[in-house]
Structure 1
Amino acid sequence: MAIEYREWRDGDDLALLEMWGGPETVQAGQFRGTLAPSGNAPWRRCIVAEDVVDGVAVPVAAGVVHEASLHPERLWAYIEVDRHHRRTGVGSTLLTMLRHEAAQSPSGVTRFRTKVEPGTPGAAFAAAAGLAAIQRSRLVVVDPGALKLAVFGDGSEAAAAEQIEDLATGSVELSDVVGRYYTAVHGWDSPGDLSIATVQRLFLAELSGAHGAIVLRAPKASAFGPGVPASKKGRLEAFAVSYAALVPGGEHIEGGEGATSGQPTDVFVGHEPQLLPEQAQAAVRDLLALIAFQHPVLLELDDSMTALCAVVEPLLDSGNAREQGTETLVVSDPA
């Protein structure tokens, strides 16, 4: 075995796919898309390991490190080695070379992070390299009718309409809450400054896959204090952004597959981060009960989403919700 290392070149992706075969994990499939020529806009360094056999150089492994505009306090890193070349030092050499490149990153950021599945060779390699878990993420399907519908106000349709609203995804009010919530639940890996435009592009624009949003508001409030009839909309307490078009009551609008196929609808659920913990749990529970009333809902659940976890964990325990696939760990160099 004669291993040589070089920059990534066009055609390496096909050569490596022949050597590697299909991805071993969901994360591997995603990270393979980041293997690309080195460059500075954005900053990326990608290195390939070749084994020279009978005078022919064959790519067997690759590693990449790159900056990220979202979550800029760490660099994303990924290494994959052909099964026949593992435990030979190839992966460790690639990691050392990537750390050398990272020491010259324009941002000055040098800490690595990556995603792994527990119990896999990738997780073992990351642990041996000193990367430790900083977050756990799961995909959870909530079954229809898992939560009892809330009663709003006096229970009338008018009272419910005051608090439940189908809101345009371009709403500045929605974008503000979504951005502040995302920042609040990612204190473990700060997303940096999220402008309204950035939030809309990442989570709410058509290109993000967002099709609609439902929000839960506090009861109407008076702009002039107690004793004066309420006319001002209550503040937004919780939101559900659908990536397979929902409308209130769990019905799907044109283009939503869940209404006919029974497949869960992908939904991003969150809340106003300034709510007290018990208020946040109540708001999330009431909105989740509504959107999962007739059709299953798919949630990405991070352990840092404490209010949503408090609502969903009992459903997992009771069998009214289930994990889909394998959990993901975000692992990182120590601070």
Structure 2
Amino acid sequence: MWIRPWAVEDTAEVAAITASGELDVLWAQGRALFGPPRDGEHWRRTIVAEVDGMVVGAGALLSPRFHPRRLWVYVEVSSAARRRGIGAALVAGLRDLAAADGRPLRAKVRPRTPSAAFAVSLGLRRVLIDSEIRRLRADRFPRPAGHARVVALDDPRVAETYREFYRAAHPSDPPDRLTTDMVRESHLTAATGAVLVSPEPGRPAGVALLIKDEGWTFTGGSTRPSAAGAPEVARELLCTIAAALPADTPLDVEVDDSMVDVRAACVDLGATPVAHARVVAER
């Protein structure tokens, strides 16, 4: 087995490995890290594992933009070549690349799956974020109370309020630097609509974005998720977003363990969990 840097000639073989793997949005996020080396503050390195002249696995290491305290790592091995130590060899190669940087590694896994067991075996035991996707059809949501408003994505309050929400939603891995311009570039450009909740005159108490991918996804919540009244803010956001969708449309809701307001609203409304993920780290 030969571990070496990714080359442009490897593109097709790496694509074949990922295409033959599990269809999972979590793995799709990791696969997006593969690519040519990139330097600068948000550098990237990709390596491959070659056996008998064939690429059978790939791994990526990324210095992230929003959460720079740890490096993202993703490894994938072709299904036919698993359980032969190739994944561990790729991680060892990535650790060698990360040694000079000094930051610990983090990864996303599915709990109670081989990916989670593999991460634990490599020392990624600290759970930073425990998240799930909950789902409910749009017509199962009650009518909103009227405290929320659909607003334009370029409304300056959207970026500012989403920035507050994002900081509140990541207490265990806070972003070191997050400007409203960064929010617009990374989150608002992917959204098709936005909702703000203002139960009282003044600054919005919560924000939600509606994102269209394979389905419709809600992301957002209260800017103070543990405050009294936060579940009502989340409920109003959810109901207002749902009211904008066709009746039989499933709405997926992103819920992290820190988002107690959104979780409480989802449980109250009967949204059921359909997927579970964790961000784990060395330390």
Common topology (TM > 0.5): yes
Q: What is the 5 A alignment of 1:106-255?
A: 108=102, 110-132=103-125, 133-149=127-143, 151=145, 160=146, 163-204=147-188, 208-219=189-200, 233-243=201-211
Partner residue in 2 for 1:266: 217
Partner residue in 2 for 1:89: 85
Moved over 6 A (4+): none
Once the two structures are TM-superposed, the CA of residue 77 in structure 1 deviates from its matched residue by 0.4
CA RMSD of aligned residues (A): 2.5
**Structure 1 residues 38, 144: CA separation in 2 closer, same or farther (over 3 Å shift)?**
closer
Partner residue in 2 for 1:224: none
CA distance in 2, matches of 1:167, 1:268: 15
Partner residue in 2 for 1:331: 280
SS in 2 for 1:118: coil
Question: Deviations for 1:69-113, whole angstroms, at most 9, x for unmatched residues?
Answer: 1111110101122334333322222212211110123xx4x2111
Partner residue in 1 for 2:48: 48
CA distance in 1, matches of 2:260, 2:57: 39
CA distance in 1, matches of 2:94, 2:20: 24
Q: Is the 8 A contact 2:70 2:104 kept in 1?
A: yes
Q: Is the 8 A contact 2:165 2:206 kept in 1?
A: no
**What is the aligned residue count?**
276
Paired amino acid for 1:113: R
Question: Deviations for 1:250-304, whole angstroms, at most 9, x for unmatched residues?
Answer: xxxxxxx9xxxxx96322231232x762211122223323333474432111111
Once the two structures are TM-superposed, the CA of residue 312 in structure 1 deviates from its matched residue by 0.9
Once the two structures are TM-superposed, the CA of residue 20 in structure 1 deviates from its matched residue by 5.9
Q: Is the 8 A contact 1:16 1:59 kept in 2?
A: yes
Of residues 14, 19, 22, the one that matches 2:20 is 22
SS in 2 for 1:5: strand
Question: Deviations for 1:1-42, whole angstroms, at most 9, x for unmatched residues?
Answer: xx1221111121312344565222432233222222233133
**Structure 1 residues 90, 165: CA separation in 2 closer, same or farther (over 3 Å shift)?**
closer
CA distance in 1, matches of 2:256, 2:148: 25
CA distance in 1, matches of 2:230, 2:94: 42
Question: Deviations for 1:101-132, whole angstroms, at most 9, x for unmatched residues?
Answer: 10123xx4x21111112233222211111112
**Structure 1 residues 237, 103: CA separation in 2 closer, same or farther (over 3 Å shift)?**
same
SS in 2 for 1:40: coil
CA distance in 1, matches of 2:4, 2:109: 26
SS in 2 for 1:189: coil
Paired amino acid for 2:236: D
**Structure 1 residues 311, 92: CA separation in 2 closer, same or farther (over 3 Å shift)?**
same
Partner residue in 2 for 1:300: 254
Q: Is the 8 A contact 1:72 1:190 kept in 2?
A: no
Identical counterparts, % of pairs = 30
Structure 1 segments unaligned to the other structure (5+ residues): 152-159, 220-232, 245-256, 258-262
**Structure 1 residues 279, 112: CA separation in 2 closer, same or farther (over 3 Å shift)?**
same
CA distance in 2, matches of 1:124, 1:201: 35
CA distance in 2, matches of 1:292, 1:18: 38
Paired amino acid for 1:288: L
SS in 2 for 1:278: coil
Q: Is the 8 A contact 1:145 1:289 kept in 2?
A: no
